[in-house]
Amino acid sequence: MSFDLQAIPVDPAASADLAAQQLEYRVLDPADTTALDAWIQADVRGFHHSRPRPPELEYDRRVMAERRVQGVYDAAAADPITPVATVSSWPTGLSVPGGRSVDAWAVSSVTVAPTHRRRGIARALMHGELANAQHAGAALAVLTVTEATIYGRYGYAPAAQAATVHVDRRRAKWIGPDAPGRLQFVEAASLREIAPALARRAVARTPGEVDRWPGLLDRVLGLVDPESDSARAIRLVRYDDEHGQPQGFVAYRVQRIPDEPGELQFDFLAAATDDAERALWRFLVEQDFVSGVRGTLRSVDEPLHWLLEDPRAITMSNVVDHLWVRVLDPVAALTARDYGTPGTLRIHVDDPLGHAAGRFDLTVGDSGRAEVERVEADAATSTRGVRGIRLGVRELGAIYLGGVRASVLARAGRITELSPRSLALTDRMFQAQRTPQLSIWF
């Protein structure tokens, strides 16, 4: 998807809802730095972050220049220049089973000032973003959440979990295979040149990952404010395969007090091959003078448990829903991914907001590729011998990447089996070779 994000028309329904409360729904011009800086201040305030220092503010400006940025303004407020609500969004590729991607609409920066809560502002923003996504031609919308009780009402559902992994260094004896390549420390500037291509290859391996935008890599590598204490603490290690080709990297830091072992912490590891993933994990868990290793936003299905002699050296905490998916175009979404077994399944989708409602025949061949056809309600199609399920758009989003089994949702009363063995077929079809994961916030 390539187009002028600012040219998407403001959703008239959302604009009218807000105007009824004397609030203005506005798209920002990235070149208007005064308005953009005020928007950024409102955004960081909404997430309880500190006011950005000049390098951080300049970084935020660069990031937001690549997004569609919208704010809600109250002309009667003491500070009418600063919005009372914010949202940003942009088109992105979402990796799906089969090593492919689907056009998605990423939604971020959703805040409402505490002074303006419970006035339907968030509802207007979320409906507006669904309209933006459809205007952009996205098959689905995606977001990460700080609160899990808000977004289901707009058709989103958790589709990929994430966890914090802790490793007790004293008990971490490696029993996995040796990697054929080599590890080496590198500087941020040199790694920045190859990081985008490496990250893209790493993303393609796992369902649920999204494209890495340039600003994210600048932050991960400590290039936003290189002289800050946090940036100076970052160490970067690259893995090259036996042919000398870079295949992965990790950014980490060690938190410690004087004369005591520290804790190695990382929140970004990109591996384009299994060898790279194993080599980087081994590097992390075999560090000297650290008591443990802590990695955030890791997969709930890490191979690390099978690479250490004592799997109890590993504990997982903060296991949470992380990536939320909202299907908008079932035909495009279901066609984009590969499936685990051949077969034909009729899927009845209920969507209170109307975006994805309908009946769809999903036919998967021996190759795992699918054809999807919308079945009109008045079509004289026989259902004899056709396996089928009925589910809501939230449940479709939950099973889409293979992280949630349809049979589990049926046990919870969330999916209805319309013919015998349909759930078993759905489970087999929607299974993914790799557990879905999203390893970043956005």
Binding site membership for acetyl-CoA: which residues? 110-112, 118-123, 146-147
Give the residue numbers of the binding site.
110-112, 118-123, 146-147
HEC readout, the chain:
CCCCHHHCCCCHHHHHHHHCCCEEEEECCCCCHHHHHHHHHHHHHHCCCCCCCHHHHHHHHHHHCCCEEEEEEECCCCCCCCCCEEEEEEEEEEEECCCEEEEEEEEEEEEECHHHCCCCHHHHHHHHHHHHHHHHCCCEEEEECCCCCCHHHHCCEEEEEEEEEEEEHHHCCECCCCCCCEEEECCHHHHHHHHHHHHHHHHHCCCCCECCCHHHHHHHCCCCCCCCHHHHCCEEEEEECCCCCEEEEEEEEEECCCCCCEEEEEEEEEECCHHHHHHHHHHHHCCCCEEEEEEEEECCCCHHHHCECCHHHEEEEEEEEEEEEEECCHHHHHHHCCCCCCEEEEEEEECCCCCCCEEEEEEECCCCCEEEEEECCCCCCCCCCCEEEEEEHHHHHHHCCCCCCHHHHHHCCCEEECCCCHHHHHHHHHCCCCCCCCCCCC
Q: Which one of 59, 73, 151, 239 is the catalytic residue? A: 151
Residue 151 catalytic?
yes
Q: Are 251 and 220 in contact (CB under 8 A)?
A: yes
Active site residues: 151, 442
